[in-house]
Amino acid sequence: MNTNNHDMFSPLTFKNGVELKNRLVMAPMTHYSSNPDGTVSDEEISYYARRSKDVGMVITATTYVTPNGKGFPNQFSAVEDNMVPSLSKLAKGIQDEGAKVILQIFHGGKMCPPSLVPDGDVVSASDIPANSEAVKPRPLKEAEIEEIIEAFGETTRRAIEAGYDGVEIHGANGYLIQQFFSPYSNRREDRFGGSLEKRMTFPLAVIDKVQSVVAEHADESFIVGYRFSPEEPETPGITMGETLKFVDVLAEKKLDYLHVSLMSFFSNARRGVEDLNKMRISYLLETIDNRVPLIGVGSIYTAEDAKKAFETGIPLLALGRELIIDPDWVEKVAEGRDDEIITEINKEKQEELVVPDPLWKVIIHTPGWFPGV
């Protein structure tokens, strides 16, 4: 395990030579605020610009790679070449503030609302619905799986053309890539399902496709990351033990970083490992063993939270909700103004916080999601 305590304001250099000015990242968060045609809205660009000047890197809200992968209303699109100018506008808006910008790419799979996908045709690895009230998804045919793998590559090409610094493959939060890795969602008996190794086939194929497109269309400075969720509550579901085996494989894939998705950075493992009093982050850092940088995340609100997180040896730390609550968080910590940090959303300051109306409504009407609501 890496026991070095990182200074959050020290630079980090990826293996490809790209340097981040510090170790703080804006986490990817859906904001429901794009235009009806899938282009990025001016409100979104302002929202990102307000939060991009102090972090080393911004990972955007996720964009979908095929029409049947759209997971959220008013989500921006990257499914066609005519979306490149819109994507470019967002990239430039963030880069102009001094941060590297990463486009997160995904397919929602069975998490897609039927109303958002063509003909209401919700697809997944198998016919296991997202929950008891959700529609039963249609299992993808092998040829369709190959088409989606290709689509991840095409979206990566668009990100390159739009001037992004990299892409993050979204293999977390129950979306299609995780659905293939999950023994709960994936009951297939072909080459894409069955054993743990076979359930890795789709995620690894997406990574290979993305990396091949980067090799063809970009230079070595283009960043490729992969996000994953370590455990699932379902039985059978992904366990911490399975994730560590997967992460061991991912650490050898020449990715620029891995990004774990957690609600709480300091949460302990639940099953599949010997010591359930040990943090997931600790297990992950031990398994990765400095082969690739890991981004940690999850309910980091105060400067003390962040310092404690970096004491684990985590190389990079993402801030999500806290950067919505206080866009000046990084500046305040850098200047030693920890006591001025705001840790609860102020319902009277939407305009000052530069949060688009659709996202603001979701925040205000989702009790427990944000402190202060």
- Model confidence over 198-234: pLDDT tens digits? 999 999 999 999 999 999 999 999 999 999 999 999 9
Burial tier of 292 (Cβ tally within 10 Å: 0-12, 13-18, 19+): buried
- 74 in Cβ contact with 34 (< 8 Å): yes
Q: Report how far residue 176's alpha carbon sits from residue 219's, in angstroms, rounded to the nearest whole number.
A: 29
pLDDT digits (tens, 9 = 90+) for 36-85: 999 999 999 999 999 999 999 999 999 999 999 999 999 999 999 999 99
Contact predicate 358/74, CB 8 Å? yes
Instruction: Collect all residues with Cβ–Cβ distance below 8 Å to 50 and sequence separation of at least 6.
Output: 327, 353, 354
- Given a cut of 80, whether residue 3 has pLDDT beyond it is no
Cα 307 from Cα 8, distance rounded (Å): 8
pLDDT at residue 4 is higher than 70:
no
Decide: 235 and 184 in contact? Cβ < 8 Å: yes
The pLDDT confidence band at residue 329, using thresholds 50, 70 and 90, is very high
Annotation says 175 is catalytic: yes
Higher-pLDDT residue of 2, 148: 148
Cα–Cα distances in angstroms (integers) from residue 248 to residues 169, 206, 275, in the given order: 17, 17, 19
Q: Check residue 5 and give its pLDDT.
A: 54
Q: Which residue do the tokens 């660009």 mark?
A: 45
Per-residue pLDDT tens digits for 168-194: 999 999 999 999 999 999 999 999 999
Residue with token string 């455990």: 231
**Candidate list 47, 64, 164, 175, residue with the active-site label:** 175
Quote the tokens at residue 28.
């990817």
3-state secondary structure of 274: coil
Domain boundaries defined on the chain = 12-364
User: Smallest Cα–Cα separation from 205: which of 192, 220, 224, 190?
Assistant: 192
Per-residue pLDDT at 1 exceeds 80: no
**CB atoms near residue 225 (< 10 Å):** 24
State yes or no: pLDDT of 2 exceeds 70: no
CA distances 149 to 208, 211, 245, 295, 306, Å, are 9, 12, 23, 25, 36
Q: Whole-angstrom Cα distance, residue 103 to residue 83?
A: 13
Whether residue 182 contacts residue 175, with contact meaning beta carbons closer than 8 Å, is answered with: no
Poorest-confidence range of 6-10, 128-132, 153-157, 188-192? Answer: 6-10
What value does the mean pLDDT take over residues 280-306?
A: 98
Is the pLDDT assigned to residue 253 strictly greater than 70?
A: yes
Is the pLDDT assigned to residue 6 strictly greater than 80? no
Domain covering 12-364 in this structure, CATH number:
3.20.20.70
Comparing CA positions, the residue from 161, 172, 176, 286 lying closest to residue 213 is: 161
Read off the pLDDT of residues 332-365 as tens digits, 9 standing for 90 and up: 999 999 999 999 999 999 999 999 999 999 999 9
Cα–Cα distance, 200 to 192 (Å, whole number): 8
DSSP H or E segment with residue 78: none
**Residue that is written with structure tokens 């095409």 in the block:** 154
d(C-alpha 101, C-alpha 92), whole Å: 9
> Whole-angstrom Cα distance, residue 53 to residue 44?
15
Task: State the DSSP H helix or E strand holding residue 309, giving kind and residue range, or none if neither.
Answer: helix 303-310
pLDDT, tens digit, for every residue of 99-150?
999 999 999 999 999 999 999 999 999 999 999 999 999 999 999 999 999 9
The whole-number pLDDT of residue 196 equals 98
CA distance 28 to 190: 33
